[in-house]
Amino acid sequence: MFETVLVANRGEIAVRVIRTLRSMGVRSVAVFSDADADARHVREADTAVRIGPAPAAESYLSVERLLDAAARTGAQAVHPGYGFLAENAGFARACSDAGLVFIGPPADAIALMGDKIRAKETVQAAGVPVVPGGRDPHLSEAARKLGAPVLLKPSAGGGGKGMRLVRDLTRLEEEIAAARREARASFGDDTLLVERWIDRPRHIEIQVLADGHGGVVHLGERECSLQRRHQKIIEEAPSVLLDEETRAAMGEAAVQAARSCGYRGAGTVEFIVSGEDPTSYYFMEMNTRLQVEHPVTELITGLDLVEWQLRVAAGEPLPFGQDDVRLTGHAIEARICAEDPARGFLPSGGTVLSLREPQGDGVRTDSGLSEGAEVGSLYDPMLSKVIAYGPDRATALRKLRAALAETVTLGVRTNAGFLRRLLAHPAVVSGELDTGLVEREVDGLVTTEVPQEVYEAAAAVRLDELRPRGDDWTDPFSVPSGWRLGGEPKPVTFHLRASGGDPVAYAPRGSHTVTDDEVSVVLDGVRHTFHRAADWLGRDGDAWHVRDHDPVAASLTRAAHAGADSLTAPMPGTVTVVKVAVGDEVTAGQSLLVVEAMKMEHVISAPHAGTVTELDVAPGTTVAMDQVLAVIAAHDAEGATEQ
Residue 487 lies in a domain: no
**241 with 314, same domain?**
yes
Pairing of strands 600-605, 216-228: unpaired
Whole-angstrom distance, CA of residue 130 vs CA of residue 198: 12
432 — pLDDT class (breaks 50, 70, 90) = very high
**519 with 594, same domain?**
no
Pairing of strands 518-523, 511-514: antiparallel
Whole-angstrom distance, CA of residue 534 vs CA of residue 411: 9
| CB-based contact 576:594 (threshold 8 Å) | yes
As separate numbers, helices (DSSP H) first and strands (DSSP E) second, the chain gives 17, 38
Domain that holds residue 458: 450-467+494-549
Condensed to tens digits (0 to 9), the pLDDT of residues 194-249 reads: 988 887 899 999 999 999 999 999 999 999 999 998 899 999 999 999 999 999 99
Q: Please name the amino acid found at residue 536.
A: W
| CB-based contact 86:9 (threshold 8 Å) | yes
* Nearest to 80, CA basis, from 291, 314, 289: 289
Residue 118 lies in a domain: no
What's this model's pTM, rounded to 2 decimal places?
0.86
**457 with 437, same domain?**
no
Condensed to tens digits (0 to 9), the pLDDT of residues 417-430 reads: 999 999 999 999 99
**432 with 518, same domain?**
no
Residue 478 lies in a domain: no
* Nearest to 182, CA basis, from 209, 152, 147: 152
**566 with 625, same domain?**
yes
**367 with 238, same domain?**
yes
At 555 the three-state DSSP class reads helix
Whether the pLDDT of residue 565 is over 70: the answer is yes
How long a stretch of residues is the chain?
A: 643
**173 with 219, same domain?**
no
In degrees rounded to 5, what are phi and psi of residue 342?
Answer: -70, -15
Whole-angstrom distance, CA of residue 354 vs CA of residue 376: 17
Condensed to tens digits (0 to 9), the pLDDT of residues 393-406 reads: 999 999 999 999 99
* Nearest to 621, CA basis, from 599, 598, 597: 597
pLDDT for the residue numbered 485: 60
Whole-angstrom distance, CA of residue 553 vs CA of residue 376: 29
Angular region, 239: left φ>0, alpha ψ -120 to 50, beta rest: beta
Q: Is the dihedral of CA 294, 296, 301, 307 positive or negative?
A: positive
478 — pLDDT class (breaks 50, 70, 90) = low
How is 445-493 classified by DSSP, letter by letter?
H---SPPHHHHHHHHHHHHHHHS--SSS---GGGS-S--BTTB------
**258 with 178, same domain?**
no
Number of domains in the chain: 5
570 — pLDDT class (breaks 50, 70, 90) = confident
**327 with 390, same domain?**
yes
CA dist 615 → 566, 579, 583, 592 (Å): 10, 11, 10, 10
Residue 205 lies in a domain: yes
Find the CATH number of the domain harbouring 388. Answer: 3.30.470.20
**569 with 629, same domain?**
yes
Whether the pLDDT of residue 641 is over 50: the answer is no
Give ∠ CA 535-539-540 in degrees, rounded to 5: 150
In degrees rounded to 5, what are phi and psi of residue 443?
Answer: -60, -35
